[in-house]
Each structure stands twice: as structure tokens, then as C-alpha cells.
Amino acid sequence: MSNTWRKRDTGITIRIIACLSILALLYIIFITVLAYLGLGYLPIILISSVFILSQWYFSDKIVLWSTRAKIVTKDQNPNLHTLVEQIALVNGLPKPKIAVVNSNIPNAFATGKGHRSSVVAVTTGLLNLLDHDELEGVLAHELTHIKNRDVLVITLASLFSTIAWQVMQFSFFGSMYGVGRDRNNGGAMLIIIAVSFITWIVSFLIIRAISRYREYSADRGAAQLTQKPKSLANALLKISGNMDRVSAREVRHFEGYNAFFIIPAISKESLFNLFSTHPPVEKRIQKLLDMEKSMER
């Protein structure tokens, strides 16, 4: 096996640019059709502006609040702070804020709009489960997400999906409550709903494609940074193996935030690969083990 994994991962940049370009083109077509069919520019601008501003300013705060993540100081958890600080220093990144989630689910995530506003969060379940090297691999994975600005990219990409969904709902309820009583208006509303639905589906699938590749890229970045791919592989194996031991109620609470987690907080039986935000954990582990073999040569 060659050492090509050591090189800079330009694949994620190419894929993100391609996906966002497709989404932008789709969004232009979407807006053009809506305007042509009579949905005024003012409602479109208002809908777009509200959701863009909301996602931009409040997305990270909502994630922290919803997951019950609490920011911890260095005095409260010196070991965790020291480990994150060392990894950030090697990456040339400002040290992110650190949060802990009081949950038995072993997991971690990163959020924030930029390098200086980023937060790395870990659960108490993760801290109790992993050893030092495994935890280092997980933290390096999350810091790679921050370095690649993955959270910002996913937020921007999800705008298209969110706006399409809201316009679809607006059109659907508008047709129900009298806007579509006229035959011509009714036909226009059906076209708007259909175009919105197609836009939402395509956006949904593209976002998942980006999310899946960024997980591979973050695994690879963590392996490059720590030089311990096997430790991250062991961490992924432990996390996925212990996920089913968590109560169903606790898992349901966190399911809506799976795009942020290093491993989806759902049981293996309910994981549908087509709609998953993450690639299969078995494939991720195998890639990391292949990297470990490459380093030994």
C-alpha cells in the first residue's frame, strides 16, 4: 500500500466545491421557477434571510443548548484541556472552547462558525470509556473538522435544503387555505410544491454525501496528526460497540444531532446507509488499520 494518505486531502475540497456548485445551480433554478410562477421576490427574500441569519448566528448555540453541553474550564478538567491544547497547537489552530455533556452515550462533536468560535464537546460516557491515546484520536478527529471548516460548510449547504422545505410547506398550506382555489393558481402551486420537493431531496442527498466524505477526511487528518491510526480505530470500535448499551430514551434525545457526532447515536439495526450522515464504521476502521500498516513499512 502506498503512503498517499499522508498527502494533503484535496479530495474533500474538490467534493465540497462541486457539491456546493450543484446546490447553487439548483437553487438558482428553484428561485427562477418560483418567481416565474408568481411567488413574489419579497416572500422568497424574507424566507431566505430569516433562515440564513438564524442558522448563521444561532446554530452552534442551539446545538450546545439542545445537547445540554456545558463549557468547562481548565480548573474543572485540566487533563482534557491540556490534551486539546496540545492538538490545537500542532494544528496551528486557536484553542477551542471545551464542553462536556453529561450523558452515557459515548460520543463527541465539534461546532462553531469559525476557528475562533469553535467548541469541542465530549460526553462523560466517552471520557469513561476511552484510554488516553483513543481519546486523543477522537479529539484530533474533531479538531480536523474545525480545521477544515466542516461545520460552516454543512451549515451553508443545509440552507438550500431548509429554504426549499419551508417554501414547500408555505405553498402546501397556502393551497389548502384558499390560495389554490383558482384553477391556474392551483396548478402553479402544485408545480411550486413539486420543484421544492425535488430541490429538498437533492439537497438532502448531497449534504449526506458531503457529510460522509468529511468523516473519512477527519479520520485521516486525526491519523496524520497523532500518528496513531489504530488508536482512533479502537476508539470507533469501542464507541459503536457500546452504543446499544445506552437506553433507548437517551438515544432518541440525541438522534437529531447525528450529523455532528463522530458515531451516529442510533442502533445498528436502525441505521440505513443511504440516509446516514456517516459512512459505515467498519469501513472507517478498515481504512485506519490500512494506514497503520502503511506506517509500519
Tell me which residues are annotated as active site.
Answer: 142
Q: Which of 148, 154, 141 is nearest to 288 (CA)?
A: 141
Q: How many Å apart are CA 208 and CA 277, to the nearest integer?
A: 5
In single-letter form, the type of residue at position 208 comes to: R
Cβ-proximal residues to 55 (8 Å cutoff; 6+ apart), any chain = 155, 158, 159, 162
**Quick one: 253 exposed, middle or buried, by C-beta within 10 A (0-12, 13-18, 19+)?**
middle
What's phi and psi for 121, nearest 5 deg?
-120, 140
Q: How many Å apart are CA 249 and CA 103, to the nearest integer?
A: 12
Q: How many Å apart are CA 192 and CA 290, to the nearest integer?
A: 48
In whole angstroms, how far apart are CA 230 and each of 39, 215, 240, 286? 55, 16, 15, 10
Q: Which alpha helices (H) appear in 76-228, and where do they start and end?
A: 78-91, 124-129, 132-147, 150-176, 183-226
Region for 20 from its dihedrals, namely left if φ exceeds 0, alpha if ψ lies in -120 to 50, beta otherwise: alpha
